[in-house]
Amino acid sequence: MNFRSYIYATVDGCVDREATLTIVNAIADRLAAIAARNPALGWQVIPLVEPEDFDDFDVDARLLAPVTGGRLPAINVNLSFDIDRCADGDPEIDALLAAHGMVLLARIPADD
């Protein structure tokens, strides 16, 4: 299997724990529906509310720092596509992430 992964983050709308979890749940619900139609999609939506969440969820705070500036709460979204089974990317996912102010931080493997 060949995978392409994308790492996103945002602080948009993350004014407190409750607001952050509401956004996380909305994104997760939509990604679950998309993944049901596209089983080659893997996804993870991570609420980062307390500093310990970085360790608990194995998230690199330095990678997210260009977006978060160290500010919490924040949201991290990780997507992976099995590119042997589907194209990497989906316009519905792109629109969803854009609607929530997600910023692409890394593409693995990186485009050359």
For the chain, which residues make up each domain, given as ranges? 3-103
Residue 6 CB neighbours (<10 A): 20
The beta-strand segments (E) located in 1-112 are 3-10, 41-48, 74-82, 103-108
Q: What is the average per-residue pLDDT within 100-105?
A: 97
Residue whose token pair is 């990317």: 89
CATH fold of 3-103: Alpha-Beta Plaits (3.30.70)
CA distance 94 to 55: 28
Predicted TM-score of the model (pTM): 0.93
Give bridge partners of residue 103 from the DSSP assignment: 9
More confident residue, 59 or 3: 59
Identify the CA nearest to 12 among candidates 111, 109, 98: 98
At 109, the pLDDT band (50, 70, 90 cuts) reads confident
Say what percent of the chain tops pLDDT 70: 97
Q: What is the average per-residue pLDDT within 34-52?
A: 94
At 49, the pLDDT band (50, 70, 90 cuts) reads very high
